[in-house]
Each structure stands twice: as structure tokens, then as C-alpha cells.
Amino acid sequence: MYYLLLILFFPFRLIRYLYFLTFGFFHRGNHILLEIPTKFASYRKTSIVEWVTGKDSEVLFLDFLNDLDLIAKSSQVKKVSFFINADLEFGMAELSNLASMIERIKAKGIETAGFASSGDIKSLYLLSFMHKRYSSSSSEFMVLLPAVESFFFGNLFKKLGVKVDSFASGPYKSFAESFNRNSFSIPAKENLTMLIRSIKTQLLDTFYDNAKLESQILKRPILTAPYLKEIGFLNGFLEEENFIENYCNKDYEELDATASNSVDKEVTLLDVKFFHKKKKFQFFPNKKKKIVILPLKGNIGMGKKEEDEMKSDAIHAYPVLAALKSLREDKSIKGVILEIDSPGGSAFASELIYQEILKLKKKVKVYAYFQNVAASGGYYIASACDKIISNPLCITGSIGTVMIRPNLKKLYNDYGISKQRIEFYPLREIFSEYGQLSSESKEFLTEEIARVNGQFYERVMLSRKKTLKELETLAQGRVFTGKSFLASNMVDSTQSFLETVEELKKDLGLDQVLIQYLPSIYSFKSMIREFRFGLSLVLNPKLILKTMNRDSGIQLKSELAELIVSNLVK
């Protein structure tokens, strides 16, 4: 059937080939200007939603990486001028991946130049990878190396009469410490210190390797452009307009009417894509196998059974299970990469997703790629995959479990609120926020923590071929960077996202594959749902207060304890 379709569509492919031949002349050039976006899109709109609402200016991160990859593969591009926006809102993993692609472009012999009018350490980090670096003479950069400054509510809750009971599987599982302490415990503080130092060391080493910037320089809170030029980091001063409008001219200077032609010739991203399609064109292409990339981002929870769409900011088990099952049933798929960016969440939901990945793994190869955070439940679900690959700056680990349960009885009493219990039975108090837990309930929760933690350990030991003794030195809630976790063989490698795609292609023995990215979809159904919700707020203003209370978590209800116990098992 496939080959019959090739024959039927041959006239159309012939027209496409003639189009490439005819219009190739108009797509010549050697210098491209590329803007590093402030942030990237988290979902993709359907065609009908784009028609109604317009096309978003933000691009998906993977699409942007692919654009950079096409530039690196282009034989016509000789120089890339990168315009770096201020206030970059993406994480360290995206930053690291962008830097890796700039390195790939440079390795192809393509000259690079970067301009940033202001920004922070992220802007300087990207600039450090350029052959030449520019900024305006009045620019300054706010430089903050990684550090931690956490809130603790122990004294406040004590004054309010709120007590938070916590049950953790290890001394490093510090999630509950903000609620019942006034400072980090010694083990938690030591572990976080090691984590921050690991991230800081990687950043400082990169700055020194790229631009010979010493750590003392980067510890200054403000770095002005004149100072950066004085120490040799910047090659010169430019105005933003000159860099953007005159990037093909020598030294980005504006040419007057009598001046000669520009040094370089403009080429656009559309031109690069055009020549890539022309280069890859085949009259009778082979049927391609697929590699699917499924992003899993946000806190892990069960969600609602009627959910039929994956979210861009939460990992809800029901739609994720449906998505994994559909991948398993698609015979054209040969490999799957789970792009994980999650601090964890429900242990039960994590286990359900884990089991579904095991079923998928029987059909295709499944890789996990860690972006900014893949901790606790994020690492749990990755344990089912064939390989775990991490960004070197990713925060990962936190293998263990924790439960918290609030006691609001004193707070209620202070405001004249009381509760009367009818037909309560032993252990039922666990799901109430009113009163202290009995010794029997505490014992039960301690046993539950041990049970869930043991299950988590079993999954990791099977995945990483570790003994319990070996795992204990890496678990109990400890957190690591991807790079330091690699030294303990808790991840298989640390590399960029596109390198992970290439590795999977190689492991599958496939040269030409179709890469399919499956972000959450903003559909017409989603738009109608939002419209109906907004309309209900207009017609019933009381819902606004109800929604604010729900979203802020200010619910003095017995369901609060049940929600916390069931969903905040991290």
C-alpha cells in the first residue's frame, strides 16, 4: 500500500523537486541572525485554535534545538549572530542544551557572535560560548551564582497553633522541614550545600574554560559592560539596533549610500530549512520508523479519570497512562524518550506510570532524559526505562518518601471553631486535620512510609543493579546533580537532548527516522472549557472567592489532610 501511494503521488513530488530547483537561487546567503527567546512554549496549538487566537510567538524548545541543528548541518552558513534577550526565563537545563548546540555550530567551523544588552548570569553564560561578544556601553548584568534562601514557618505555625507531623524515610528528605522547623537539619543542610556547590562549580569551570573568567569576578553582584570589556570578556560595544539591522556589515557598522556592499549576505532560518529539505529530497523515500518524545513535566498526581489531555505543568496518571498505552499499540514506533522535568509527587501515581512504562519497554526501547529536575517520583518513573540520561546540571535523586499531616485543632479553637466526631474508628483520624495522632496512627504511617520506601528502593536497585547497602549511601532523600549522579552510576550518561536522540537512533540501528514530539495540545475543546469557566465566573462572582481559596490552599476542611497524605508522598 505504501509503495502504491508513492507511485500515485509521484507527479506531486516531481512538482516539489522542480520547486526546489527553481527557487533555490533566491535562498542564497551565508550569515544568519538568530534570537534566543526569553522563554519557550509549553504546549502546541491545534490549527483551529491558531486560526481563532492567532499563532503564538513562542516556539517549543525542541523545535528551537532542531533549528540550531539544521544551522550546524548547513553547508552555506558561515556565521551566526545570536541576539540574547534579557531576563531569560528558562532553566539551567535549557541553558546547557543551548550551549551544547552553539558548541556544535562552532565545531562545524561556523563563526559565532553574540549580543546582550543586559541580563543575568544566564546571558553571560551563553555569551561565553561565542567567538565574539558584544554589548552596549551602558549595559550591566546582575550576576547571582546558585544559592539557597528558604522560608521556615515553624515559629509562625507555633504561634498560630498549627502543628505539622512529618514521617520521612531518611534524614535528607527535607520537604517537611519548612513547615515544622526554623532551619534546615544538619544532614539536609550538608546535602543541599553539596548540591549547590556542584552546580556552581560546573558553571564557574565553564566560564573559565570559555573566557578565562575567574570565580572572584562572577561573585561581584553587578558587572558593567565597560568592566567586562576591560577584562577582555567583551570584544566591543554596539548598540542593539546596529547588531540587529547591520549584522551582515563589517563590524556591524551602518553603511552610507556611497559605501560598498555588505561583507556577508543575509540568510534566514527559512532558507536553511529550504536547503535542508532540498538536500534530503527523494522521489521514492523509504518508510521511516518513528521515535516519539513524550514530555512529562510537573508534580506527579492521579488527576481525574475523565481527563483526556495531558497537561503542560502537571503529570497526571490517567492521561499519561493512556498516552503510554497508545504508544505501545503503534507499530511504527521503535523508540520513546520520556523528557522528565518533575520534583516528584504521589508514590501511587508514580508506580502506575512505572508499570505502564515496563509494558511499553517490551515493545520498544524507552529512554528517560532528565531536564531541570528529576527527583523522587521523577526518578521513580525513570527507573522503568532502558537508559537514564541526564542534563549535567539537573537536580536529581531524592530517593525516599515523606508524608505530612497538619493538626489545626488549636487554630480552630482560637477562632471559636470546634468539631464533633461521630462514628470515628481507629486510624480514621489520619484523614482529619483536627487533633493529635494516636500512637497507633503514628505507627501505621511509619509502616506505610517503610512500605512505600521499600518499593521505591526495589525499583531503583533493579534498574541500577545496586545492593541495598550501596543504595542507602545514595538515597534517604539525598539530592545530586546529574553530573555527580553519573559518578555513582545512577544515570547512564550526561549529555544534551539531541545527543540523546542520536544515541537512541544508533542503538536502534536506524539512520533515517521520523522524530515526533508530543507536547500537551491546546485544542478547541480546551479553549471552550476555559471560556465556559470564565463565563461562569462572570455569571456567578462567588466562584471567584471559591477558586482563590482552592488555588491558594486555604481550605479549613477535613479533606485537606486527606489531600496532603494522598498527594504529597514525595
For the residues of 340-362, what is the DSSP string, one character each? EEE--B-HHHHHHHHHHHHHHHT
Q: What is the pLDDT of residue 200?
A: 96
**In this structure, what is the dihedral angle of CA atoms 240, 244, 248, 252, given to the nearest 10 degrees?**
-10
DSSP summary character for residue 372 = E
Q: Tell me how far apart the alpha carbons of residues 312 and 281 are, in angstroms, rounded to a whole number.
A: 34
The per-residue pLDDT for 539 is 58
What's the pLDDT score for residue 305?
87
CA angle 343/347/351 to nearest 5° reads 110
Average of pLDDT values for 25-31? 77
- Residue 362 is placed in which grid cell? 517490551
pLDDT at 464: 97
Q: Which of 149, 152, 32, 136 is nearest to 80 (CA)?
A: 32
Helix (H) or strand (E) holding 458: helix 439-464
Contacts of 540 (CB under 8 A, 6+ apart): none
| Distance in angstroms (rounded) separating the CA atoms of residues 456 and 380 | 7
All cell numbers assigned to 175: 520537604
Partners of 390 in beta bridges: 370, 494
Which residue, among 439, 447, 430, has the nearest Cα to 565 in the 3D structure?
A: 430
**How many CA atoms within 13 Å lie on the side-chain side of 296?**
40
Domains and CATH numbers, the chain: 28-40+58-137+221-254+262-282 (3.90.226.10), 289-567 (3.90.226.10)
Task: Answer whether residue 285 shows pLDDT above 80.
Answer: no
Q: Which three cell numbers stand for residue 419?
A: 468539631
Closest by Cα among 291, 419, 298 to 350: 298
User: Roughly what angle, to the nearest 10 degrees, separates helices 524-539 and 542-552?
Assistant: 120
Cα separation of 360 and 340, whole Å? 17
Q: Which residues are within 8 A (CB) of 520 and not within 5 positions of it... i.e. 6 or more apart? A: 42, 43, 44, 295, 309, 310, 311, 312
Taking only the tens place, the pLDDT of each residue in 413-442 is: 999 999 999 999 999 999 999 999 999 999
pLDDT for residue 274: 76
User: Residue 205 corresponds to which amino acid?
Assistant: D
Number of H helices and E strands in the chain, helices first, is 24, 21
Residue linked to cell 541543528: 69
d(CA 451, CA 460) in angstroms, rounded, equals 15
Q: Is residue 516 within 8 Å of 293, Cβ to Cβ?
A: yes
Q: Which of 48-57, 60-69, 509-518 has the highest mean pLDDT?
A: 60-69
Burial class (CB in 10 A: 0-12, 13-18, 19+), 142: middle
**CA dist., res. 437 & res. 369, Å (int):** 41
pLDDT for 31: 95
* pLDDT tens-digit readout, 211-235: 999 999 999 999 999 999 999 999 9
Q: Place 560 in a pLDDT band, splitting at 50, 70 and 90.
A: very low
Query: Nine-digit cell at 403?
Result: 508524608
More confident site: 354 or 75: 354
Contacts of 380 (CB under 8 A, 6+ apart): 344, 347, 350, 351, 354, 456, 459, 460
Considering 56-65, 94-103, 528-537, the range whose residues carry the highest mean pLDDT is 94-103
Q: What pLDDT was estimated at residue 312? A: 86
Short-list 336, 277, 310, CA closest to 515: 336
For the segment 105-117, what is each residue's pLDDT rounded down to a tens digit? 999 999 999 999 9
Report which secondary-structure segment, H or E, holds 200.
helix 186-211
Give the model's confidence band at 271: pLDDT under 50 very low, under 70 low, under 90 confident, else very high: confident
Residues 164 and 409: beta-carbon distance below 8 Å: no
